[in-house]
Structure 1
Amino acid sequence: MILKDKVVIITGAGPGMGQAMCRGAAAEGAKVIVSARSKDAIERLAGEIVEAGGEAIAVPCDVSKTEQCNALAKAALNKWGRIDGLVNSAYYHPDWLGLDTHSIDQLLMALDVIAVGAVRMAQAVIPTMRAQKSGSIVNVSTLATRKPMPGEGGYAMAKAALNQMSRQLAVELSGSGIRVNTALMGWMMGAPLEEYIASLGDGAEAFRNQRSAEIPVGHIPPDADCAKAVYFLLSDYASEMTGAALDVNGGDWVAV
């Protein structure tokens, strides 16, 4: 178990990748602080983790609110006395529109939740990590920052800001023992995508086959498997990595 006894906060623990990361981190031995805006959903998830033999607590948090970010970090300290890892996975996806006609309010919200929210959370945990002289921050980003896709402009802009935040903090925290890295996810097979594919009706299988053929690994990567890269970056196995951007998208970023 590569995260044994590490205390890890995971934001954006919604259906799909967020929940997969929480379950997987707990299975790898982490004490997980499950966080998202939906209190009922995260309490169910934390309960499932505990029933499976893991350790987890649920703490609601809207990362656009500084006081809630600080309260999330405090809850981790109150429960386990330290914070070893932070996974910034909270996001807001604006409408699928071209930037030439996009709602500016939605763009600002995406930036506030994805990029500025990650900074709020980093500021909430860095004092503890500095005192410990150790810690790992992993920012969950997207293939769309490398490979522009129609309608993804607003979301990708915010994630690109998150990518730069990783590099900037990695340098600013030099010598502190705190590492900051990025995992760039692409198409992932999980609850959200399964729901979308099912909505295609008779065209579902054709879509699945076409998308799989376009990805170099030959299939749409399962979200639970993509999450393993995040555990690696959180773990001591990545002790010499900071400021790195790791593509976890089946090679889709290099495909034409």
Structure 2
Amino acid sequence: MTSVYTVVIAGASSGFGAALAHDLAAAGHQVVAGARRPRPDAPRMRYVPVDLTDSEATHHFAQAAIEHLGRVDGLVYCAADPGAVQRAWQLDADAFARVLDVSLLGFVRLAGHLVPHMQQAGGGSIITVGSQAARTPVDLLAAYGAAKAALEHYSRCLAEELSGTGIRVNTIGIAAETELAATHRTAKAALRGRPSPHPPLPDVAESLPLARWLLSDQARHVTGQSIEANRP
């Protein structure tokens, strides 16, 4: 990618996705941000409402991004569903399916539209947001952890298959205070009947430099990696 690049961010309603979208736009990059709820545009950043569980809506989002940006240098997938917080043996299958649909299949749908475009353009950087829960069991988050594990494995497969095309694919795990983290804590506390123990998490801004680096040409040699931020 050039020093100024174009990025599609899916899952930018709040948290890491929203913070990264504003951070990149403030640095002069062009951003199309997909969000489940409407948000105002900003200089160098256009918000597009999208339901990533809907194939047609995802297709329209991808087309809108390509038309607006002309070329897609980067794709960051941050979308996740906060539901299905439950003991593993008590999980509702439909709620579990929703978590998988948002966290994994939404990316599969979007990659199907944007990867061919990036191939034609000669390369780019794809980042998926994973989780430590993908590799370490977390109480009451079996659905979330399983979905993130599937996303991380799919990302590694994508990286392997795109080797030599100029497109690199990496997964990052963030440790930050986000709306998702707060929702998980609240749901856990309700199940336990007491506050959910949780270490204090840093501001989401502390996780942005890693994503910026992976999107840049400085990381053109890095692909197929899962990089986890450590909790404080």
Whether contact under 8 Å (1:3, 1:30) holds in the other structure is no
Cα deviation code 1:76-115 (max 9, x no counterpart): 2212210011111111122321110100011111111111
By how many angstroms is 1:133 displaced? 1.3
Which of the residues 239, 242, 251 maps onto 2:220? 239
Match of 2:120 in 1: 131
Whether contact under 8 Å (1:22, 1:32) holds in the other structure is yes
* Structure-to-structure mapping, 1:202-241, within 5 angstroms: 211-212=199-200, 220-241=201-222
Runs (4 or more) in structure 1 with deviation over 2 Å come to 2-5, 189-198
TM-score by length of 1: 0.80
Which of the residues 68, 89, 95 maps onto 2:57? 68
Gaps of at least 5 residues in structure 2 are: 190-195
Match of 1:154 in 2: 143
Match of 1:215 in 2: none
1: distance between equivalents of 2:68 and 2:184? 38
Which of the residues 157, 162, 180 maps onto 1:173? 162
- Partner amino acid for 2:100? L
2: distance between equivalents of 1:196 and 1:152? 8
Q: Secondary structure at the match of 1:179?
A: strand
- Aligned: 1:99 with 2:88: yes
Whether contact under 8 Å (2:12, 2:18) holds in the other structure is yes
1: distance between equivalents of 2:25 and 2:128? 18
Match of 1:164 in 2: 153
- Aligned: 1:248 with 2:229: yes
Match of 1:15 in 2: 14
- Partner amino acid for 1:238? A
- Partner amino acid for 2:6? V
CA RMSD of superposed structures (Å): 2.5
Whether contact under 8 Å (2:22, 2:45) holds in the other structure is no
CA spacing shift, 1:3–1:68, aligned 2, 3 Å: farther
2: distance between equivalents of 1:224 and 1:135? 23
Q: State, as a whole percentage, how many aligned pairs show the same letter.
A: 33
- Partner amino acid for 1:138? I
By how many angstroms is 1:10 displaced? 0.6
- Partner amino acid for 2:26? A
Match of 1:189 in 2: 177
1: distance between equivalents of 2:76 and 2:203? 19
Match of 1:30 in 2: 29
TM-score by length of 2: 0.88
CA spacing shift, 1:70–1:173, aligned 2, 3 Å: same
Match of 2:193 in 1: none
- Partner amino acid for 1:225? E
- Partner amino acid for 1:134? G
Cα deviation code 1:44-101 (max 9, x no counterpart): 2x33xx2xxxx01111111112222222221122122100111111111223211101
- Partner amino acid for 2:106? G
Whether contact under 8 Å (1:229, 1:248) holds in the other structure is no
- Partner amino acid for 1:70? H
1: distance between equivalents of 2:128 and 2:185? 27
Of stretches 61-70 and 126-135 in structure 1, the one that deviates more from structure 2 is 61-70
The number of residues matched between the two structures is 225
